[in-house]
Amino acid sequence: MVVMLTHDFVGYLLNKFINRFNLSTKGRRFTNLLKYSSISDKINKVKSGELSLKDNISELLSRIKANKHLNAFNFVFEVDSLKEAERIEVKIKSGTYRKLAGAVIAIKDVLSIKDKPTTCSSKILKDFKALYTATAVQKLIDEDAIIIGKTNCDEFAMGSSNENSAFGNVLNPVDNSRVPGGSSGGSAAAVAADLCDAALGTDTGGSIRQPAAFCGVYGFKPSYGRVSRYGLTAFASSFDCIGTFTKNIEDAALILEVISGKDNLDSTSYDSPVPEYSKNLSTKKKFRIGLPKEYLGEGLSEEIRNAIDSLAKELSSKSFEIIHISLPHTEYSIATYYILTTAEASSNLARYDGARYGYRSENSGTLIDMYKSSRSEGFGTEVKRRIMLGTYVLSAGYYDAYYLKAQKVRRLIKNDFDKAFEKVDLILTPTTPTTAFKIGEKSDDPLEMYLSDIYTTSANLAGIPGISFPYSKDSNGLPIGLQFLAKQFDELSLLQMSYYL
Domain count, the chain: 1
| Beta-carbon count within 10 A of 91 CB | 16
For 351-373, what is the mean pLDDT? 90
**pLDDT (tens digit per residue) in 270-314:** 999 999 999 999 999 999 999 999 999 999 999 999 999 999 999
Active-site residue among 183, 452, 458, 498? 183
Residue 444 lies in a domain: no
Mark out the alpha helices in 147-226 (DSSP H runs): 185-192, 209-215
**pLDDT (tens digit per residue) in 124-142:** 999 999 999 999 999 999 9
Give residue 101's domain range: 25-279
Residue 397 lies in a domain: no
**pLDDT (tens digit per residue) in 335-357:** 999 999 999 999 999 999 998 88
pLDDT of residue 22: 36
Residue 118 lies in a domain: yes
pLDDT of residue 356: 86
Q: How far apart are CA 26 and CA 382, in angstroms?
A: 40
108 in active site:
yes
pLDDT of residue 33: 57
Q: Among candidates 179, 178, 220, 181, which has minimal Cα distance to 202? A: 220
Which band of pLDDT confidence, cut at 50, 70 and 90, is reported for residue 364?
Answer: confident
| Beta-carbon count within 10 A of 22 CB | 8
Cβ neighbors of 141 (< 8 A, separation 6 or more) are: 133, 147
Residue 60 lies in a domain: yes
Is 10 a residue whose pLDDT tops 70? no
Residue 301 lies in a domain: no
Is 456 a residue whose pLDDT tops 80? yes
Here the CATH number for the domain that contains residue 110 is: 3.90.1300.10
Q: What is the DSSP letter of 171?
A: P
For 169-197, what is the mean pLDDT? 98
| Beta-carbon count within 10 A of 365 CB | 9
- In Å, how far are 288, 453, 501 from 316, measured between CA atoms? 10, 28, 13
Active-site residue among 38, 58, 81, 207? 207
Active-site residue among 108, 150, 221, 247? 108
| Beta-carbon count within 10 A of 344 CB | 21
Q: Which residue has the higher pLDDT, 33 or 169?
A: 169
Residue 156 lies in a domain: yes
- How is 371-420 classified by DSSP, letter by letter? HHHHHHHHS-HHHHHHHHHHHHHHSTTTIIIIIIHHHHHHHHHHHHHHHH
**Which helix H or strand E contains 74, and what residues bound it?**
strand 73-76
183 in active site:
yes
pLDDT of residue 306: 98
Cα first-last separation, the chain: 35
Which band of pLDDT confidence, cut at 50, 70 and 90, is reported for residue 77?
Answer: very high
pLDDT of residue 382: 97
pLDDT of residue 13: 38
Q: What percent of the chain has pLDDT over 70?
A: 93
Residue 206 lies in a domain: yes
Is 26 a residue whose pLDDT tops 60? no
Q: Among candidates 362, 315, 330, which has minimal Cα distance to 455? A: 330
Residue 203 lies in a domain: yes
